Structure 1
Amino acid sequence: MSIFKRKTGEEQPYWPVGSYKMRLPILHYKLETPELIQGMVLFTAGLSMIEIMTNVMGISYEAALTITILNQFLMLIPSTFGVPFVAGFITALIPIILVFLGGYDPGPEAIQAVIAVQLVLSLIFLIFGITGLGERIVTNLPASLKGGILIGAGIAAIMTEIEPGGRLSESPVAIIVGGILCLFTMFSMYFKKISQKSRIIQFIASYGIMPSIIIAIIVGWSIGEYPAPQIEWGITKPSFEAVWEISPFVIGFPGIEMFITAVPTAILAYVIAYGDIVVGDKIVQRANESRKDEKIKYSLSHVHTLTFLRNLLNGLFAPHPGMAGPIFTAGTASVAERYTFGRKAMDSIYSGTNTMLIAFSVGIFILPLVTFFRPFLPLALSITLILTGYLCITIGMQQIKTEAEMGVAGVMAIVLAVYGAAPALITGIVLYFTIQRKSLKKEKFVEREEEEDRENVS
């Protein structure tokens, strides 16, 4: 129960902090048991980023785990100050970041590269949020370039797994089983059909990617592809000293050249993140329309400024390769879906959103869970990238319609997957103006000719 009660048809109670709306557990919203349970499982998805931090960025496991802990707490900022999204990282950016980091040696150089992208991205969120430029730029971005970015990210994600010496060659059975199960439970029409008839299958589906990871772990462990975990009991102890040692205040801030190099990757990150914001806004709008007992009011400008703050804090104190994204779409959709069942099911959209995020932060301190998953972090990352690759390619292909758009997007995607953000953006823009613009003019000319012919006939 919460101390402050909401009257029917009004907003959930809050304390005004400037233009922001601060809500605290117990005071302004109750903790929801289903989201608490779900969050205690789903927090483990964030552990997969540890594999990138240790192997690609070259930092210790202790520092990577502490960064993950800090990131989970920073994810609470938007929902605490009025944004009804479950925050996350920018999943579709992960393969692009991996390509970007391929040009840097693990260690201080790779860490500085992540810091550069995160600080540039924070500045983009701040400027675009205050000015409103973000909506105009992303809305007017040609569909072929949007498609190229997403398809390229998808190709990069799949390539990371299947390339010679990749994780697939090291544990093929577990990754194939986990990947197929993940795609089946997330996208299969047959699975959706049977889930409508069975509450047990609906319950399994509500946990998204985690059931597939658990089964893949069991398979990989049983056939010897992964060692048995060394489970430790107690509470996870963060190593703030280890994180401070890799902060820009110790290893040094990136140079101007590195910041310039980071700009294209940060731009792609924003384009992807803005698409996530649009999806989240639609999810919440649909939920808002289903209930008359609560008015959900929030500002997309606040989404931007709070995401700016998270990226700034991450970049300065806890560089995270997934960046700070505005929304964990699967978590937000899960909360919004249960919200539609009425006030008895979920008191407020904020009680569901905040409870799930609080569970993320609590779950990561359960040391037996964290140590159980430690040997399987490469597997969790592989399944995450397979899912990300499939989603990116699917959504990217939905963006493009004409033959010219297909060509521009396809070539841009390949360049992005192989060479990274800057060459891909240049390639996409050049191809758009040399190929697609001509085809658009030709289409207009043909339409004008057809219109003149109709007038002559009449």
Structure 2
Amino acid sequence: MALSREFGAEQPSSAGALKLRLPFVHYRIEYQDFIQGAILSCVPLGITAAMTGVLGIPIEIAVLMVVINNFLYLLHTSFGDPSVAGWITAGIPLYIAYLTGYAEGPERIQALIALQVLVGVIFLVMGVTGIAKTVIGKFPVSMRAGILLGAGFASLMRIFDPGQPFISQMPVAFLVAAFFSFFVLFSVRALAYRARYGWFAWVAGFGIAPGFVIGYIVGLITGEIPMPQGVFDQFIISLPFGEMFTSFSAFGIGMPSISMWISAFSLAIVAYVLAFGDILVLEAMILDADANRKDEKIVFEVPRNHIITSTRNLVQGFFMPYLPLCGPQWTGGQALVVNRYKHSTPDQEPSYWGGATSLFWGMSLAMVFHPLVQIILPARNIGFGLTLLIQGYLCVYIAFAMCTNNAQRGIAGVMGAVLVTANYVKLWGSPFWTGPTLALIVGAILYFSLEYYSEEERKEDRDPKTTVQKILIGKKQPPKDK
């Protein structure tokens, strides 16, 4: 039985400032989120194709790296950070382009080690010094909304892009899955059904799982999804820890050269800029969840998130360099957890931490069992596509809700449009001058040009004497008596 809390307080924790929370002690396992996580285990496994193709990592070791990476996500929710963590996804094409500049084999692995360790160091410095907290605390609302809009647009554009494997390859199965998932999660009628029918509230608690299952069945009937293969070839996945350490760690193949560290530095900064947007999205979603559930206080601390993200990058960088790097948030997973939490009663989901952590317990454990992975893999694009759709929907409506005037809405819209040009624009041949960097620059220019108004100017306008003087400006004054 999980420890109880006072109304409106934080969920109890141990280990003082570390805020350690353990299953069955500080929160209960939410089986709905556990099942959602198990179904979504197909999403992180999708990176194995790039890992084998770009880095030459055998598939068994690539799968093992994905599993270890997923268990490390639990560091966040186990130590007081509400993030449903993930990759620094937007930069994957940039990382691949950078790595292919090195010879395939140990040299390419060393280049990735340098990149990931430097990303870890940047997160550590920004978190420990408090610079990140200061910057994010002063970040304008309009620019926050612009990043949210950009993230939402980018997700939705991928769904309807004919080059992506969603609408183009399985139109019937995916659209059916999307319809049922959106109805359960966001329909006004569905919210009424949750309160009226216990069975519907139970089904809705599974989030995208019912839509995924229905879409999977439709896909098998229409032939858009192939039948699972090799389900019973083995029970537990291969666990080649020794080979992973000797062939792909810094201690097995040696440390990167000085030139590799220097070459990776600019791209490491780009990766942090990309991750910065994820942090702003994370903060907005946690505030949204906190506003909808008054019974529990969820605290998001930027330094804590940075330090844990740094730890993951440093550990994986040295021991198992990971192509997509370690980011502060997986927006699609965060959206699923936040949406279920804020639409649940305290009886249905007593604590945010149960759902956020159960998602990764389900995902991580599912990937260890070979039959379950083989069953889910054929429909991996349904699971991935649904998370993108939900991410896009939530990001867009939260962005609109944040803006309070037309200047903010206009700045957010322009900045969001610039942000999604990351896939099309690279000025001066540099990966730094892509959509995310340009969005921050354009957003800053628009903010200071259209919206910014200093406190001194506000005080001056509020001063009655100054107001009278302004009214009298331009009026002819009577001559003074001599």
Q: What's the counterpart of residue 78 of structure 1?
A: 76
Superposed CA deviations along residues 138-170 of structure 1, whole A, max 9, x for unmatched, are 232344443443333333333434434321323
Q: TM-score, normalised by structure 1?
A: 0.76
8 A Cα contact 1:62 1:242, kept in partner: no
Farther off after superposition, 272-281 or 125-134: 272-281
Q: What's the counterpart of residue 183 of structure 1?
A: 182
1:363 Cα deviation after fit: 3.1
Q: What's the counterpart of residue 227 of structure 1?
A: 226
- One-letter amino acid matched to 1:261: L
Structure 2 residue 106 is matched with structure 1 residue 89: no
1:282 Cα deviation after fit: 6.5
Q: What's the counterpart of residue 275 of structure 2?
A: 269
Closer, same or farther: CA 50–388 of 1 in aligned 2, 3 Å:
same
Superposed CA deviations along residues 335-386 of structure 1, whole A, max 9, x for unmatched, are 68768339xx85x776676555444443333332111012222332233223
Farther off after superposition, 145-154 or 216-225: 145-154
Q: What's the counterpart of residue 138 of structure 1?
A: 136
1:89 Cα deviation after fit: 1.7
Superposed CA deviations along residues 292-315 of structure 1, whole A, max 9, x for unmatched, are xxx988965434322321232233
1:69 Cα deviation after fit: 1.4
Question: How far apart, CA to CA, are the structure 1 residues paired with 2:156 and 2:299?
Answer: 39
8 A Cα contact 1:24 1:80, kept in partner: yes
Structure 2 residue 380 is matched with structure 1 residue 383: no
8 A Cα contact 1:125 1:270, kept in partner: no
Q: Within 5 A, what are the aligned runs for 1:50-129?
A: 50-55=45-50, 58=53, 59-81=57-79, 83=80, 85=82, 87-89=84-86, 94=89, 96-101=90-95, 103=97, 118-129=116-127
1:110 Cα deviation after fit: 8.7
Farther off after superposition, 415-424 or 217-226: 415-424
Question: How far apart, CA to CA, are the structure 2 residues paired with 1:84 and 1:225?
Answer: 39
Superposed CA deviations along residues 52-100 of structure 1, whole A, max 9, x for unmatched, are 331477355433321231123212323444x16364326xx53x23453
Of 370, 374, 377, which aligns to 2:373?
370
Closer, same or farther: CA 426–25 of 1 in aligned 2, 3 Å:
closer
Q: What's the counterpart of residue 312 of structure 2?
A: 310
Q: What's the counterpart of residue 209 of structure 1?
A: 208
Secondary structure of 2:168 counterpart:
helix
- Number of residue pairs the alignment of both structures matches: 438
- One-letter amino acid matched to 1:290: D
Question: How far apart, CA to CA, are the structure 2 residues paired with 1:369 and 1:352?
Answer: 21
Give the RMSD, CA atoms, in angstroms: 4.3
Q: Within 5 A, what are the aligned runs for 1:343-362?
A: 357-362=360-365
Closer, same or farther: CA 238–270 of 1 in aligned 2, 3 Å:
farther
8 A Cα contact 1:66 1:239, kept in partner: yes
Closer, same or farther: CA 441–128 of 1 in aligned 2, 3 Å:
closer
- One-letter amino acid matched to 1:85: P
Q: What's the counterpart of residue 428 of structure 1?
A: 439
Closer, same or farther: CA 164–150 of 1 in aligned 2, 3 Å:
same
Percent identity over the alignment is 23
Secondary structure of 1:169 counterpart:
coil
Closer, same or farther: CA 296–86 of 1 in aligned 2, 3 Å:
closer
- One-letter amino acid matched to 1:100: L
Question: How far apart, CA to CA, are the structure 1 residues paired with 2:185 and 2:109?
Answer: 33
8 A Cα contact 1:178 1:213, kept in partner: yes
8 A Cα contact 1:86 1:356, kept in partner: no
Farther off after superposition, 138-147 or 348-357: 348-357
1:390 Cα deviation after fit: 3.2
Secondary structure of 1:170 counterpart:
coil
| Gapped regions of structure 1 (runs ≥ 5) | none
- One-letter amino acid matched to 2:28: E
Question: How far apart, CA to CA, are the structure 1 residues paired with 2:380 and 2:45?
Answer: 7
Q: Within 5 A, what are the aligned runs for 1:131-170?
A: 131-167=129-165, 168-170=167-169
- One-letter amino acid matched to 1:391: L
1:32 Cα deviation after fit: 3.1
Closer, same or farther: CA 73–47 of 1 in aligned 2, 3 Å:
same
Secondary structure of 1:321 counterpart:
coil
Question: How far apart, CA to CA, are the structure 2 residues paired with 1:406 and 1:43?
Answer: 36
Q: TM-score, normalised by structure 2?
A: 0.73
Structure 2 residue 449 is matched with structure 1 residue 438: yes
1:137 Cα deviation after fit: 0.9
- One-letter amino acid matched to 2:91: I
Q: What's the counterpart of residue 409 of structure 1?
A: 415
1:428 Cα deviation after fit: 3.1
Question: How far apart, CA to CA, are the structure 1 residues paired with 2:108 and 2:208?
Answer: 29
Structure 2 residue 167 is matched with structure 1 residue 172: no
Question: How far apart, CA to CA, are the structure 1 residues paired with 2:86 and 2:160?
Answer: 24
- One-letter amino acid matched to 2:312: R
Of 258, 265, 273, which aligns to 2:264?
258
Farther off after superposition, 363-372 or 394-403: 394-403
- The structure with the largest alpha-carbon Rg is 2
Q: What's the counterpart of residue 218 of structure 1?
A: 217
8 A Cα contact 2:109 2:248, kept in partner: yes
- One-letter amino acid matched to 1:428: A
Secondary structure of 2:46 counterpart:
helix
Q: Within 5 A, what are the aligned runs for 1:332-347?
A: 334=340, 340-341=346-347
